[in-house]
Amino acid sequence: MLKVRKATKRDIDSVVEIHLKRFSNFFLTSLGKYFLKVFYTAFLKNPGLLLILEDEGKIKGFAAGSRDNRNFFKKLLKNNLFEFVFSGAQILITKPAALKRMALNAGKSEKNNLIYAELLSIATLRNKKGYGKILLAEFEKEIAKENIENLPLSLTTDYDENEKAIGFYNESGYEVYQIFESYQNRKMYRFIKYIVNK
Ligand SMILES: CC(C)(COP(=O)(O)OP(=O)(O)OC[C@H]1O[C@@H](n2cnc3c(N)ncnc32)[C@H](O)[C@@H]1OP(=O)(O)O)[C@@H](O)C(=O)NCCC(=O)NCCS
């Protein structure tokens, strides 16, 4: 049986495992397992949202995001300051180049004035059961539940060599909001979908 539910602390190891399997070439992954644990744990608190998909009692996917992008990363950091500082110190010792890159990128993030709820990370283990679509639909429902300002839902994804994810979002009703360049001139889409409060 398939089930989508809110994550608890006990799910974080499985989330990190799936992240490592499915995002092998992503920058966040290069920061290591400990950082990823701290990162995903931070989504357990509002305005963060972390959902888990279970099939026959086994965790097969997750979706992480925020109900409101305004100052979201500041809040994430503030709510979990000790953990992030500690993992930052660890990265400073093991991967100083990664920390330098974070500092350089902090100042030149994407410019837009849009206010939105945001899907920041979604991944499923390979399947032929529509895990991703089910997770995304539940994520939208969960955001819509507490969406007083009727914010749209947005996300970014790679422009190049990313047909599977782009098709997945198109099929789920997402439209291109803008195309922009992220760090190292990586071309990205920002997608958007207007969801309705129920
Ligand atoms: C992008 C991602 C989250 C999509 O999730 P997904 O579970 O693969 O996608 P779907 O919901 O379409 O389901 C997977 C398959 O089940 C199939 N399926 C079988 N029965 C189905 C049903 N009843 N309903 C819907 N789909 C069904 C789909 O056709 C799809 O087949 P395909 O992989 O051959 O296209 C996932 O591929 C992933 O984790 N990718 C790596 C990480 C990533 O890129 N994340 C997004 C970055 S922004």
Residue 78 lies in a domain: yes
Q: Confidence class of residue 79 from pLDDT cuts 50, 70 and 90?
A: confident
Query: Would the pLDDT of 197 be above 70?
Result: no
Tens-place pLDDT, residues 161-177: 999 999 999 999 999 99
Query: Ligand 1 centroid to 168 CA: how many Å?
Result: 7
Residue 112 lies in a domain: yes
pLDDT at 198: 55
Residue 29 lies in a domain: yes
Q: Which domain holds residue 129?
A: 2-193
Closest ligand 1 atom to Cα of 165: 1
Assess whether the C-beta atom of 65 lies below 6 angstroms from ligand 1: no
Query: Ligand 1 centroid to 188 CA: how many Å?
Result: 20
Residue 105 lies in a domain: yes
Tens-place pLDDT, residues 11-34: 999 999 999 999 988 888 888 899
Report the domain count for the chain: 1
CA distance 66 to 153: 9
Residue 198 lies in a domain: no
Count other Cβ atoms within 10 Å, centred on residue 146.
13
Query: Would the pLDDT of 151 be above 60?
Result: yes
Query: Ligand 1 centroid to 132 CA: how many Å?
Result: 5
The mean of the pLDDT values for the chain is: 91
Residue 159 lies in a domain: yes
Query: Ligand 1 centroid to 170 CA: how many Å?
Result: 12
Q: Which residue puts its alpha carbon closest to atom 40 of ligand 1?
A: 123
Mean pLDDT confidence for 174-198: 89
Residue 40 lies in a domain: yes
Read out DSSP for 44-80? Answer: TSTTEEEEEEEETTEEEEEEEEES--TTHHHHHHHHT
Closest ligand 1 atom to Cα of 135: 11
Mean pLDDT confidence for 164-191: 94
CATH code of the domain in which 58 resides: 3.40.630.30
Residue 137 lies in a domain: yes
pLDDT at 130: 97
Tens-place pLDDT, residues 81-140: 888 888 888 888 888 887 777 776 665 566 778 999 999 999 999 999 999 999 999 999
